[in-house]
Amino acid sequence: MNTIKKYIMPVLIVLLIAFGWIVFENRLMDLFDEFILHVSSLLTFSTFSTILFLIVVLSCFGYGVWRIKEHRCQMSFLTILLLLGGIIIYVKYRFILGDYISTPNVIWNLGYFDIFIILLFILIILQSIFLIYPFLAKKVIDTNFKFLTDIPIDNPDADILDYRKSAAELIRDLESIDVRKSSCSVGLISPWGTGKTSYMKLLKYYLDRNTNKFIVIEFNPRHSRSAANIQKDFFEKLFSELGLSSFSSYLKAINVFAENKLISTFLGFHKQWNKNSEKEKINNAIQRIDKKIIVLIDDFDRLLAEEIIEIFKLIDGNASFKNLIFVTAYDKRLINDIIGESYPNKNTLFSDKFFTLEIQIPLRPYEKIYNFLIDNLLKIVINNEKRSIIDTYYQSGLLKKYIPTLRDAKRFYNLFVLQYKKIHHDIVFEDYFLLSLIKYKHTDEYFTR
């Protein structure tokens, strides 16, 4: 059925159009002479226009060859047939009947449109080779299956989603933030699986190349033994990285170090005064460093509600020192849902109250995720013929629905390839591919009999 749709239907459509052309050919050519030919006769050309034309058309041709060679673009079978039909009509009237000429004469009596048609024909031939002879494309050559890991990148060379420009621009924004009087908190928001940790790693990569302006401190609350230890672990990390010491009295003042609860109640006023005094000492020590302290908090939306609250306490109060900029990335909806389960309030977006600035990590075109999946499949299990089957579901939007993120692409690849290499001789590829999509996205339904 898929073959009928892909090859027979386009042929029937083209035959129908060809019938219409034969019946109305004379009338259509009269309209061409009356309108299009008349307008073209008013155009004037020069050496400059010829040079500009050649630059544009050859650049487009080179780009088209590259797109076809890299399998980034495929004309549909219908498009190829229609373009070939147009070229046949052009050749008939231009060269066989000689009813028309193409101006101006660029080389060998060839005009602008002659050159355009020749280059278009070459592109069609190249594209047709990949459609008609899929064995010329990459074959199954690698028998060693390797899982794709979901390890975040740590340098721009591995930047599949092209985040480097955005991360570099964010560095300039951080540089411009005024934190001489108080700290600042920046939330980078993006849905689950879209590469937030990789974006943070790229941010650190560029920050590390600006050591004259920034000191970078990475803190992962998930490494703490419990929620009660998060603030203590953070301050130990902060003071150690900055080379500060003898601030245990501040930690006692903010109850990071446990004390007798009865005594704390009676000495509450003294502790508040002591807290402000000790905090000012820390502010003065940090200001003498004369650099902005960038605190990168990772895995924020993987924390439990009580752990997130501890981070909010740090950002909004206990660690809100001068010259500090907190930066973390999270799925905003997920964060608010997690906290909302423990602290229900339908009208509250908790992240809005604790982050000075929220920035949307730029969403990448789905084409980048699809190309990543296809490139990896081409390396090990599929040829260009099978790739064209997957292309059909990419163009229909089905793949974006079932494999929306780069993380999904990696996980689906691992699921798909592991079994496919064992049974590929005994299955129909398209059926297995569709069943794999269902198995990945709707596991319960897949195993329901």
Q: Which two tokens stand for residue 59?
A: 């650049």
Three-state SS for 93? helix
**Short-list 402, 413, 408, 407, CA closest to 438:** 402
Tens of pLDDT, residue by residue over 220-250, are 999 999 999 999 999 989 988 888 775 677 7
Q: Is the pLDDT of residue 141 over 70?
A: no
Fold that domain 163-360 belongs to in CATH: Rossmann fold (3.40.50)
Three-state SS for 252? helix
| Residue positions counted in the chain | 449
Beta strand segments in 226-306, E: 292-297
**Short-list 342, 25, 365, 381, CA closest to 161:** 365
Q: Is the pLDDT of residue 139 over 50?
A: no
Considering the entire predicted model, what is its pTM?
Answer: 0.64
**Short-list 195, 191, 203, CA closest to 326:** 203
Q: Is the pLDDT of residue 41 over 60?
A: yes
Residues 6+ apart with CB under 8 A from 293: 214, 215, 217, 238, 242, 286, 321, 323, 324, 325
Q: Which two tokens stand for residue 195?
A: 């590469």
Give the pLDDT confidence score for residue 71 in this predicted structure.
56
CA 211 to chain centre: 28
Q: Is the pLDDT of residue 23 over 50?
A: yes
- Give 136's DSSP letter: G
Confidence of residue 79 (pLDDT cuts 50, 70, 90): confident
Residues 6+ apart with CB under 8 A from 406: 160, 161, 193, 194, 195, 369, 372
- How many other C-beta atoms are found inside a 10 Å radius of the C-beta of residue 143? 8
CA distances to 68, 200, 210, 211, 271 from 204, rounded to whole Å, are 36, 6, 10, 11, 37
Average pLDDT over the chain reads: 84
- Give 301's DSSP letter: G
Give the separation between CA 361 and CA 358, rounded to whole angstroms. Answer: 9
Torsion of CA 311, 313, 319, 320, to 10 degrees: 110
Torsion of CA 170, 315, 243, 257, to 10 degrees: -160
Q: Could you check whether the bond before residue 134 is cis, i.e. omega within 30 degrees of 0? A: no
DSSP characters over 68-98: HHTTS----HHHHHHHHHHHHHHHIIIIIS-
For tokens 């590259």, the residue is 66
How large is the average pLDDT for residues 60-74? 75
Q: Is the pLDDT of residue 160 over 90?
A: no
For tokens 């990590």, the residue is 361
Q: Is the pLDDT of residue 140 over 60?
A: no
Q: Which two tokens stand for residue 338?
A: 């997690």
Indicate the domain borders of the chain: 2-132, 163-360, 366-447
Tens of pLDDT, residue by residue over 161-201, are 889 999 999 999 999 999 988 899 999 999 888 889 999 99
More confident of the two residues 265 and 386: 386
Give the pLDDT confidence score for residue 335 in this predicted structure.
87
Tens of pLDDT, residue by residue over 300-311, are 888 998 999 999
Percentage of the chain exceeding pLDDT 90: 39
For tokens 């951080």, the residue is 174
Contact 90, 32 (CB under 8 A): no
CA atoms within 13 A on the CB side of 36: 7
Contact 284, 319 (CB under 8 A): no
Tens of pLDDT, residue by residue over 330-341, are 998 888 888 888
Give the pLDDT confidence score for residue 57 in this predicted structure.
92
- Give 174's DSSP letter: H
